[in-house]
Chains A and B, each alone.
Chain A
Amino acid sequence: MDKEIPSEDLMARIAEGDDSAFGILVHRHRTSVLNLIYRFIGDRTQAKDLAQEVFLKVWQSAQNYEPKAKFTTWIYRITANLCFNELKSARRKKWYSFNRSDEDGEHTFEETLADSTPSAETILLEKERSRQISDALQSLPENQRMALILKRYDDLSYHEIAQIIGCSVSAVESLLFRAKRALQEKLKNFEK
């Protein structure tokens, strides 16, 4: 039912103090925002914290929001900026690479229960594959990685990706070309 209300209209309602509109908006976009961060950062716990930060910023910006671009483009731009800033501060602290512990791949109890239908071996294999893919993605430079994730998992156009990252369409084309080349090299021995 809430699909009928465009996110831009929900933002206008949030600006008027409508809490329920914010609830609908969070519910609608939380999974995509969370996964964009998770795929970019590669850390489950950090991704959950940052996703909350994104929606906090959405709430704080509601008064000044102007629907110049698509809502998803706008919220992804907030998400991308937070991700880039997070990596910058993590680099300063120099703990990011050390903190990528086994916890990153851990499921919560509820998720383990929900996923418990396949055999333990299958789960382990899938987790291992996922880890390899994640490692390959993490090895890409930040802009290439963000462009690739937005294309591969959100199927955004080059124009939208350019708006999110803040570069030209031809730069996006070049970023994706190089990202795919690098991934081809890194995943050439990967067996499905």
Chain B
Amino acid sequence: MRNPMKCSKIQKKFSAYQDKELKPQEQEEVRSHLLNCEACREEFAELERVWQTLEGLEEIHPDPWFYRQIVRKIREPREQGLLPTLQHVFRLSRAPVAVSIILIIGILAGTYVGSILARFDLFPFQSNPVSDSSGVLASMRVFDPAPPGTLAEGYYRMVSY
């Protein structure tokens, strides 16, 4: 006789029942339920059918040289291991390495060119620091009683003789 509550509970145990992983008491409970419930019997038969279907998955066989290839890998760990590792590291870090190299070359070239320009006073936008400071000092003299280059300065020069 079908009892949906009971059937649902039993069906949750089908997988473990099929694998014979239930406790003996539970195993017996499912078995006797299956004897009396046609719906669950069909459900379990479907599970068994799918389980059988999986048998159709092909089995593959190792190549005859399988063992020899392993032995070769064991005997040549350095040749086989180091070079690919380096290649792998290089492959991964290709972009950062290129950017770093370009930056280093740029810094070195800039320093070299800069030192040459500085040596020959060839900086295109550089102003003379000495003339700069004297210009500042001269401009400060506008606050003098007789700023340089004015009539007042000429008058003072005349009277001071």
A interface residues, Cβ below 8 angstroms from B: 19, 23, 26-27, 30-31, 34-35, 38-39, 44, 47-48, 51-52, 55-56, 59, 108, 110-111, 126-127, 129-130, 133-134, 137, 151-153, 157-158, 173, 176-177, 180, 183-184, 187-188, 190, 192
Contact = CB atoms under 8 A, between A and B. Distances in A.
SS class, residues of chain B in contact with chain A: helix
Interface string B42-58: 00001101111110111
Interface of B: 12, 14-16, 18-19, 21, 46-47, 49-54, 56-64, 66-67, 69-71, 73-74
A26 B67 contact: yes
A188 B21 CA distance: 25
A137 B66 CA distance: 26
Given A55-B70, A192-B53, A177 B58 contact: no
Contact of A27 (B15, B49, B63, B67): B67
A46 to B, nearest CB: 12
B31 to A, nearest CB: 18
Contacts of A129: 56
Given A34-B60, A137-B54, A180-B14, 4 more contacts: A35-B60, A110-B64, A130-B57, A180-B18
Contacts of B53: 133, 187, 190, 192
SS class, residues of chain A in contact with chain B: helix
Q: Which 7 A-B pairs have the closest CB atoms?
A: A177-B15, A130-B58, A133-B57, A129-B56, A30-B62, A55-B70, A184-B50
Contacts of B74: 56, 59
Contacts of A133: 53-54, 56-57
Contact of A56 (B12, B15, B73): B73
Nearest to B74: A59
B141 to A, nearest CB: 73
A52 B73 contact: yes
Contact of B67 (A23, A111, A158, A183): A23
B55 to A, nearest CB: 9
6 contacts: A56-B73, A59-B70, A129-B56, A177-B16, A184-B47, A188-B46
Contact of A31 (B47, B49, B62, B64): B62
Contacts of A19: 71
Contact of A158 (B21, B52, B70, B71): B21
A188 B46 CA distance: 8
Contacts of A27: 67
Given A59-B74, A176-B15, A39 B57 contact: yes
A26 B66 contact: yes
Contacts of B12: 177
B61 A31 contact: yes
A176 B56 CA distance: 19
A114 to B, nearest CB: 8
Given A31-B62, A34-B60, A52 B16 contact: no
A44 B60 CA distance: 8
